[in-house]
Amino acid sequence: MEPLDGNAIGGLLISLLGTDQTDVVVTCAHCGATRMLAECVVFRSGPGTVVRCRSCGGQLMVFVQRHDVTCVDLLGVQ
């Protein structure tokens, strides 16, 4: 599947947090690069949505939906 940019998870973040978060600046825990979430790389193939750093490819965030619950892993963000 073709990678998307961070705008692809804008609606998901609004549903989880109540506001648009795509203009939030995130710092990669793997390489220290900082950029707006909208500029990150999003993959929607597989069991969840994975957000990766555009600089190093490190995993920043993972969203997995199971029934009505969304599990969020933010361990790749400082």
Site for Zn ion in 57-76 (CB under 5 A): 58
Q: Two tokens at 25?
A: 């600046």
Q: How far is the CB of 21 from Zn ion (least distance, A)?
A: 19
Binding residues for Zn ion, how many (CB under 5 A)? 8
- Binding mask of the shown chain, residues 17 to 56, with x at each position contacting Zn ion by CB under 5 A: -----------x-xx-x-------------------x-xx
Three-state SS annotation for 7-37: HHHHHHHHHHHCCCCCCCEEEECCCCCEEEH
Residue pair 24/37 in contact (Cβ under 8 Å)? The answer is yes
> Quick one: 25 or 69, whose CB is closer to Zn ion?
25
CA 54 to chain centre: 11
Binding positions for Zn ion, rule: CB under 5 A: 28, 30-31, 33, 53, 55-56, 58
